[in-house]
Amino acid sequence: MKYRTIGTDPNSRREVSVLALGAMLFGSQTDEETSFAVLDRYVEAGGNFIDTSDNYAFWIDGGQGGQSEELLGRWRRSRGIGDEIVIATKLGARPLAPGTSYVDNAEGLSAKVIRESAERSRDRLGVAKLDLLYAHIEDQRVPLQETVEGFAELVAEGTVGLLGVSNHAIWRVERARALAAAAGLSGYEVLQYAHSHLRPRIDVPEGLFPDGSLGHAGPELLSYLRAEPGLTLVAYSPLLKGAYAHPDRLPADFDHPGSAARLKVLREVARETGATVNQVVLAWQIDAELPIVPLVGASSVAQLEENLAAVDLELTSEQRARLDAAH
């Protein structure tokens, strides 16, 4: 396994594996035995960066979520896992009542919610301190200052280590970080957005959130990373939910001529290296110029093994240049 540093403060920064493991469906769609097996193999391989959220996976049973955090808590206790494993979780998108969703009934990002939801997450995970806590989705009903101060208070109290943000417009990320910096408070240091080798059309509504806040890591975000070297991008859905292996699963906003050109180069590099297309995509992210940590899900140990092998896949500078230039 290889590792990189997230965070800039010597008191809170962490060394994490370059491949993160998503636990979204653990404890719900993926049963406990399989979830434990995947987690065990990930740790055995040197992985130490696991991602979840307080609302995973509410859509499976029409509830409010929490299954993933609860399973991770049981796994930690059964394996004697301590703070050597970095567990990231999120708050803000948990439905306030069963049968509803984040679209019309999200918990939001008020100071009260931040404190209470973080405490519930710590209880479910069985930890005294959350290693990394994200603001999951935007909440424009609450003043940004209140959200910034709410998160920073938890860091100051020692119940949260690092702060992150996901699915926000970049201008709101920058404004929140500026507010934190001006007040001498802890701010967002990890960004989590969808990012893969294929690029989506920008003229197709994304549809998951009515305010359009959910976004892919497009040129604006990547430019922001270049300008702010202390930030790290955690890239979710890097394998497009299986679309590289199953083209019929390609989301509608990726159905454009540019995808064919980029897929052609991916397949060429896969043939040259003897790797799978999935592995080429992950290796391209892991060794990118920008600090990117791909976040992969796995519903079986076999799926995880394919992803783990990408860590040791070395692309040549010529291959990387071709992957970067394809359009």
Q: Which domains does the chain have, with CATH numbers?
A: 3-243+282-315 (3.20.20.100)
Residues 88, 48: Cα–Cα separation, whole Å = 11
* Whole-number Cα distances in Å, 193 to 17, 49, 72, 166, 274: 18, 16, 23, 6, 29
- pLDDT, one tens digit per residue, over 70-110 is 999 999 999 999 999 999 999 999 999 999 998 889 999 99
- Closest among 164, 79, 177, 75 to 118, alpha carbons compared: 164
The pLDDT value recorded for residue 214 is 59
Mean pLDDT of the chain: 94
- Closest among 78, 61, 66, 63 to 26, alpha carbons compared: 66
The pLDDT value recorded for residue 216 is 81
- β-bridge mates for residue 5, sequence order: 15
Determine the Cα angle at 52 with ends 310 and 279, to 5°.
10
Quote the crossing angle between the two packed helices 257-273 and 317-325, to the nearest 10°: 170
The pLDDT value recorded for residue 55 is 97
- pLDDT, one tens digit per residue, over 6-27 is 999 998 999 999 999 999 999 9
If you search the block for the tokens 């008020």, which residue do you land on?
A: 110
Query: What is the mean pLDDT of the segment spanning 220-240?
Result: 96
- pLDDT, one tens digit per residue, over 161-205 is 999 999 999 999 999 999 999 999 999 999 999 999 999 887 765
- Closest among 52, 22, 8, 13 to 299, alpha carbons compared: 22
- Provide the pLDDT confidence category of residue 209 given band limits of 50, 70 and 90: low
- Provide the pLDDT confidence category of residue 152 given band limits of 50, 70 and 90: very high
- pLDDT, one tens digit per residue, over 292-320 is 999 999 999 999 999 999 999 999 999 99
Beta pairing class for 14-17 and 3-6: antiparallel
Displacement of CA 203 from its chain's centroid (Å): 24
Residues 288, 293: Cα–Cα separation, whole Å = 10
The pLDDT value recorded for residue 252 is 85
Q: Count how many Cα atoms sit within 13 Å of the Cα of residue 23 in the half-sphere of its side chain.
A: 34
Choice among 21-30, 62-71, 255-264 with the minimum mean pLDDT: 255-264
The pLDDT value recorded for residue 201 is 82
pLDDT of 59 strictly over 90: yes
pLDDT of 206 strictly over 70: no
Label residues 257-270 b or e (16+ Cβ within 10 Å = b).
eebeebbebbeebb
- Using DSSP's 3-state secondary structure scheme, residue 87 falls into strand
The pLDDT value recorded for residue 280 is 98
- Provide the pLDDT confidence category of residue 276 given band limits of 50, 70 and 90: very high
Report CA dihedral (64, 252, 282, 9) to the nearest 10 degrees.
-50
Residues 191, 189: Cα–Cα separation, whole Å = 7
If you search the block for the tokens 């119940």, which residue do you land on?
A: 159
Q: Which of 101-110, 117-126, 253-262 has the highest mean pLDDT?
A: 117-126
Q: What percent of the chain has pLDDT over 70?
A: 97
The pLDDT value recorded for residue 295 is 98
Q: What percent of the chain has pLDDT over 90?
A: 88
